[in-house]
Amino acid sequence: MAVPDFQTLMLPVLAATANGEIPASDLRDRVAASMKLSDEDLKEMLPSGRQTTFANRTAWANVFLQRAGLIQKTSRGVYCATPAGLEVIAQHPQKIDIKFLERFPSYVEWRQRSTAGSLVKPGEPIDIISSVQASDTPEEQIERSYRVLTSALEADLLDRVRGMSPGFFETLILRLLGKLGYGGGEPARGQVTGGPGDGGIDGVINEDSLGLDRIYLQAKRYGAKNTVGRPEVQAFSGSLDGVSATKGILITTGSISPGAREYASRIAKRIILIDGAELARLMVEHEVGVQATGTYTIRKIDENYFVE
């Protein structure tokens, strides 16, 4: 038989994680056995030749199930079903697909983020893959697929950052800000200062080589449901007073409340607030913690070339 599409693989992938933690390779073996796939099926390659079709589709089924909160990553390349996932399995569904996942708020939120600003028209389904229409141009389909890939990468990247140590997170922030051009893009101008007695300051970047102008940092490695509120921003503002500073950047892997943003916008100090979603977007855009796996160049006829 041919390798099933990734939606057909969702239920077998979830079922493979039902008995506790399982490495990705064992998960694929279990799914392949349950689907009775032949060796020839498992050897089928994507057009790029970089990965097997089965491995790719199994991975994407896993990604979508994670975004719905049915599977969680417990360590690098190891997965298990969440309590919500076990509850779904206990219901013995005939199939899990994109439509099924739309009953889970975390999946809906993820899909809405990935379609924001895309070519999806009002009234279309929120899922990019299910909303591809016959009238879509190839460029539109590429744009939609690119947004799915990027959205999944950003979500996975943020999960990975939340699992790192506070020291690693602070160093990551300095590297990212260097990529953004702070400190002239020179890593030596940034320094992690966090630790006992840090006074609420986790790092500092010298904007000039003499250190005459400085930007102070606070990094909050929060969970997905944790929010930075106005009190935290007020405390950071007070920390800036302690070092006679007027510029600060507060970055969190959680969210930032409207009240916190409103407060930061009206005080004399210049405090920039970056939440988890923006952090992940900036990391992808400036290639911090990610790497390119392929580049596709779209070409068109150069009409000027054929002018005689």
| Nearest C-alpha neighbor of 151 from the set 280, 62, 43 | 280
What values do phi and psi take at 218, rounded to 5?
-130, 125
Beta strands (DSSP E) in the chain are 22-23, 71-75, 78-81, 190-192, 203-206, 214-220, 227-228, 247-252, 255-256, 270-274
The residue among 71 and 127 whose pLDDT is bigger is 71
Closest CA to 246 of 213, 288, 211: 213
- Contacts (Cβ under 8 Å, ≥6 apart) of 218: 200, 201, 202, 236, 239, 248, 249, 250, 251
The dihedral sign for the CA sequence 231, 236, 237, 241: positive
**pLDDT confidence tier of residue 48, bands split at 50, 70 and 90:** confident
Higher pLDDT, 139 or 158: 158
Strand partners of residue 219: 251
Check pLDDT > 80 for residue 30: yes
**What integer pLDDT is reported at residue 143 of this predicted model?**
78
- Bin 166: left if φ > 0, else alpha if -120 < ψ < 50, else beta: alpha
Over residues 178-194, the mean pLDDT reads 82
Among 48-52, 115-119, 172-176, 300-304, the minimum mean pLDDT is found in 115-119
Mean pLDDT, all residues of the chain: 87
For residues 112 and 107, give the distance between their C-alpha atoms in angstroms, rounded to a whole number: 9
Q: Report the distance separating Cα 306 and Cα 146, nearest Å.
A: 32
- Side chain identity at 62, as an amino acid letter? N
For residue 125, pLDDT over 60 is answered with no
Supply the pLDDT for residue 47.
Answer: 77
Sign of torsion over alpha carbons 17, 19, 24, 26: negative
Evaluate if residue 133 carries a pLDDT over 50: no
- Give every CB contact of residue 295 below 8 A, 6+ residues apart in sequence: none
What is the three-class DSSP state of 187? helix
- Quick one: DSSP state of residue 4? P
- Gap between the Cα atoms of 161 and 31, Å rounded: 29
Percent of the chain with pLDDT over 90: 61
Structural domains of the chain, ranges and CATH numbers in brackets: 1-101 (1.10.10.10), 105-162 (no CATH), 166-285 (3.40.1350.10)
Q: Is the pLDDT of residue 130 over 70?
A: no
What does the alpha-carbon distance between residue 180 and residue 235 come to, in Å, rounded to a whole number?
Answer: 26
Q: Which pLDDT value is given to residue 256?
A: 97
pLDDT in tens, 198-245: 678 999 998 877 777 889 999 999 998 899 999 999 999 999 999 999
What confidence category does residue 197 fall into, taking pLDDT thresholds of 50, 70 and 90?
low
Which is higher by pLDDT, 149 or 144? 149
- What's this model's pTM, rounded to 2 decimal places? 0.74
pLDDT digits (tens, 9 = 90+) for 68-122: 999 999 988 899 999 999 999 999 999 999 999 999 999 998 888 766 544 344 3
Least confident of 24-33, 52-61, 89-98, 134-143: 134-143
pLDDT at 139 over 90: no
